[in-house]
Every structure is written in structure tokens, then in C-alpha cells.
A and B are shown apart, each in its own frame.
Chain A
């Protein structure tokens, strides 16, 4: 089945510094890749998803580029904000059953 590997554990940044959270995947299909964000005591919600036409998705200052050659979909932002502190999940979905396979999550903590 599919598998997703993310930067594990806690990433601590100072406000204003760039963010990069790594994500690589393995799949027998050509999957779609997603980033979900979960703020404290809230439900996970979609942040970004990959496109079929190689466009780079962007939302709330975050972007990610799907590199099929390296099976990666790293999440980036040029300048971290305090409100970016959250748990970030990379996920992939392939095949016909629309199952999302998640990585273990990366907790991002942004400090002033």
C-alpha cells in the first residue's frame, strides 16, 4: 500500500523565518498529494493539494511542489507567522478507493 514519510516530531521556528516541512511518498499509483493542517483541539482541514497539470498549489502563503522524480511534496512558506503553529500532515491518495494515507505529522511551533 501507500506510505508517507514526513519530517517527524517538532519543528520550532522564530517568526519571520522560512518554513520547510518535508514529505516523501511511496505508491504503486500516480497519487494525489495533500497537506492537512490541524490547529489545537480542531479537526484536520485541507491546506493544499497537488494538481494533475503540475501547477504549484498555494494557500495562506504556503506552497508545495510535487516532484514525481523524487516522490516528494515538501511544504514551504517564506515567512512563518505565530498563527502557523499547528500540526501538519502530508497525505497521499491513489487508486480507486479514495483512501487517504497520512504521514505521522509534524508539529510546527512558531515563536516570537
Chain B
């Protein structure tokens, strides 16, 4: 079965601090994504990547950076965490065609205090 693993599963960060969320997939998928989930906003795309060493901006990239050092790994970086970035973050992967399933990790609950 497709597997997307996120770490950590939860984190408390201080305002202004740096946060790195990690994601690892064993699906051999080209595409990887970072989504943010907030009540009332649903799932919104932050960054995505379709090849190692390259990332693309999604719909809400401000305040976030991404890194794809290999096909399997995709990180989301908050250089200066803010209260408004408190949310649940989901990593996902897919083969890349528009009609194919996207597989999600179990999410990381980030609380910025």
C-alpha cells in the first residue's frame, strides 16, 4: 500500500522560531505536495514538487519554503513561525496525472505560541 510518512506528528513552536516539517514517501511517485488544513478553509496547497531539487509555489506559499532533496523526501520550512501558521499540515504524493489518486500522510499538528 502507498505510504507517506510525516514527522513530527505534532509540534509546538515559538513565534519567530524556525520549524521544519518532514515527509517521506515510498510510493515512487514523482509529485509531492504540502497542504494546510484549517476549519472553514479546507485543504489549501502551499508548495508542490514534481522532481527532485525543484519546488513550485502553490496557492498560499507566503511564509513557507519547501525543499525536495530526493524523490522520496519533501520538507516544509517555516523560517519565522507566526501564530497564523497554527494548523494541521498534510504531505501527499501522486504519480502526477490529473486523474490519479493523491495519497496523504497522517498530518502534523503545528501549534505556534
Contact = CB atoms under 8 A, between A and B. Distances in A.
Interface of A: 1, 31-32, 42-46, 49, 52, 89, 91, 93-105
23 contacts: A1-B59, A31-B98, A32-B98, A32-B99, A43-B90, A45-B104, A52-B99, A93-B98, A95-B98, A97-B50, A97-B56, A98-B50, A98-B94, A98-B97, A99-B58, A100-B33, A100-B45, A100-B102, A102-B35, A102-B43, A102-B44, A103-B42, A105-B43
A98 B42 contact: no
Contacts of A99: 33, 45, 48, 58
Interface of B: 4, 31, 33, 35, 40-45, 48, 50, 56, 58-59, 90, 94, 96-102, 104-107
A31 B35 CA distance: 20
Contact of B96 (A98, A101, A103): A98
Contacts of A105: 42-43
A43 B88 CA distance: 11
Contacts of B41: 104
A56 to B, nearest CB: 16
B98 A49 contact: no
A94 B42 contact: no
Contacts of A43: 4, 90, 104-107
A44 B88 CA distance: 12
Contacts of A91: 43
B15 to A, nearest CB: 26
Given A98-B31, A98-B97, A89 B43 contact: yes
Contacts of A103: 42
